[in-house]
């Protein structure tokens, strides 16, 4: 299991409409075409304590982006859309590049939705994110298929049930004389009854060329289940179990619970996770945080996490702001 930071302005498309965030501006070109412009600035002041006793404090841009998108009514109940996310550093750190980070092309209609490009991993959407209310203090997650070269199908809502199928199709070159195509299969499903959502997902993590010969080596598969329950209009409880199999026979699993309380002007949230490894030390992790909506599109937050030596990180404290436009 690894620590994983996830952009909170991930590419998200619902019912064929491009959405770069709640503050994004839509411009109607004509009756059938809409262009969208939006973005997000994320600034963090972080203090990290490592297992070797060293401390690091930094003021950093944690993934500011600008998003351009467009959608068009193609007729017959079908909408086509495209969205591209560009990343830059507000503080001027690094090389100062304005680079493309992700692009998706999609088509939506009564049949559901088909998306091509840098789509979010559907295992992450339904399982990992169910216990991740954090901006930065995310607990350890299982390793998943990379989020590029994806082909994704989102089913329509069939009563209380829906599913998602996804494959990563990528050329992987491992030696000077050898190339291969990596195929990954990810599947996820969700059943909803009232305030309860039950979820399950699988990611086979594909295959990669061996360094010699033409053999393919199977990556380790990941399985997960989750439940999300709205206790009241303001309180949400969630639980997640995920298991990662290793090619070396060493498996690991994590059981996590989370709570999120919406107090009106923001949220209070926290999570706890128990991590078990076949070979190595088991451990537990916890994190909690709070955010406050200063104004429409402007949020401040503070979080703390104790990661119990995962990936060399012992604890993290962060304060930051998120500005959406």
pLDDT in tens, 75-90: 999 999 999 999 999 9
Report the predicted TM-score, pTM, of the whole model to 2 decimal places: 0.87
Worst-scoring range by mean pLDDT, 16-30, 55-69, 229-243? 16-30
105 in a structural domain: no
Q: Helix, strand, coil % (nearest 5) of the chain?
A: 5, 65, 35
Q: CATH code at 209?
A: 2.40.160.10
Q: What is the pLDDT of residue 72?
A: 97
pLDDT at residue 15 greater than cutoff 50: no
3-state secondary structure of 213: coil
28 in a structural domain: no
Of residues 47 and 312, more confidence is placed in 47
For residues 280-308, average pLDDT: 93
Q: What is the pLDDT of residue 276?
A: 87
Worst-scoring range by mean pLDDT, 187-191, 288-292, 304-308, 316-320? 304-308
Name the domain count of the chain. Answer: 1
Each residue's pLDDT tens digit, 136-183: 999 999 889 889 999 999 999 999 999 999 999 987 655 554 456 778
pLDDT at residue 53 greater than cutoff 80: no
Q: What is the pLDDT of residue 177?
A: 47
187 in a structural domain: yes
The residues, any chain, with a CB within 8 Å of residue 137's CB and separated by 6 or more, are: 287, 288, 289, 303, 304, 305, 316, 318
Q: What is the pLDDT of residue 309?
A: 60
For residues 129-136, average pLDDT: 96
32 in a structural domain: no
Produce one character per residue of 108-138: b if its CB has 16 or more CB atoms within 10 Å, e if not.
Answer: bbeebbebbbbbbbbbbbbbbbbbbbbbbbb
Domain interval for residue 53: 43-61+117-324
Q: What mean pLDDT, rounded, does the chain reach? A: 86
Largest CA distance in the chain: 62
29 in a structural domain: no
97 in a structural domain: no
The residues, any chain, with a CB within 8 Å of residue 142's CB and separated by 6 or more, are: 1, 128, 222, 224, 242, 243, 244, 252, 254
Tell me which residue of 182, 140, 172, 109 sits closest to 276, measured CA to CA. 140
pLDDT at residue 196 greater than cutoff 80: yes
257 in a structural domain: yes
pLDDT at residue 213 greater than cutoff 60: no
197 in a structural domain: yes
pLDDT at residue 7 greater than cutoff 50: no
Worst-scoring range by mean pLDDT, 3-7, 113-117, 308-312, 319-323? 3-7
Q: What is the pLDDT of residue 9?
A: 35
For residues 20-34, average pLDDT: 82
DSSP bridge partners of 97: none
DSSP bridge partners of 101: none
């Amino acid at each position: 299991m690894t620590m994983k930071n996830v952009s909170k302005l991930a590419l998200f498309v619902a019912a064929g409409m491009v959405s770069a965030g709640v503050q994004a501006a839509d411009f109607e070109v004509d009756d059938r075409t809409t262009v969208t412009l939006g973005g997000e600035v994320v600034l963090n002041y972080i203090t990290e304590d490592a297992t070797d006793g060293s401390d690091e404090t930094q003021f950093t841009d944690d993934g500011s982006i600008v998003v351009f998108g467009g959608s068009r009514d193609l007729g017959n109940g079908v909408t086509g859309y495209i969205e591209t996310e560009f990343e830059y550093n507000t503080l001027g750190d690094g090389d100062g590049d304005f680079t493309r980070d992700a692009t998706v092309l999609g088509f939506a209609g009564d049949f559901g939705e088909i998306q091509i490009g840098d789509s979010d991993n559907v295992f992450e959407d339904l399982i990992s994110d169910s216990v991740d209310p954090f901006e930065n203090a995310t607990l350890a997650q299982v390793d998943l298929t990379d989020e590029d070269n994806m082909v994704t199908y989102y089913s329509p809502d069939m009563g209380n049930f829906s599913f998602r199928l996804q494959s990563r199709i990528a050329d992987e070159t491992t030696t000077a004389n050898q190339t291969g195509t990596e195929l990954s299969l990810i599947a996820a499903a969700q059943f909803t009854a009232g305030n309860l959502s039950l979820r399950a997902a699988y990611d086979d993590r594909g295959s990669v060329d061996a360094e010699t010969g033409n053999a393919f080596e199977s990556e380790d598969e990941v399985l997960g289940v989750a439940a999300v329950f709205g206790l009241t209009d303001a309180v949400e409880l969630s639980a997640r179990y995920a298991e990662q199999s290793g090619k070396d026979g060493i498996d690991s699993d994590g059981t996590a619970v989370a709570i999120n309380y919406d107090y009106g002007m923001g949220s209070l949230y926290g999570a706890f996770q128990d991590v078990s490894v076949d070979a190595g030390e088991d451990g537990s992790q916890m994190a909690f945080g709070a955010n406050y909506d200063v104004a429409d599109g402007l949020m401040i937050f503070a979080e703390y996490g104790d990661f119990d030596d995962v990936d060399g990180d012992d604890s993290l404290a962060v304060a930051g702001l998120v500005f959406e436009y």
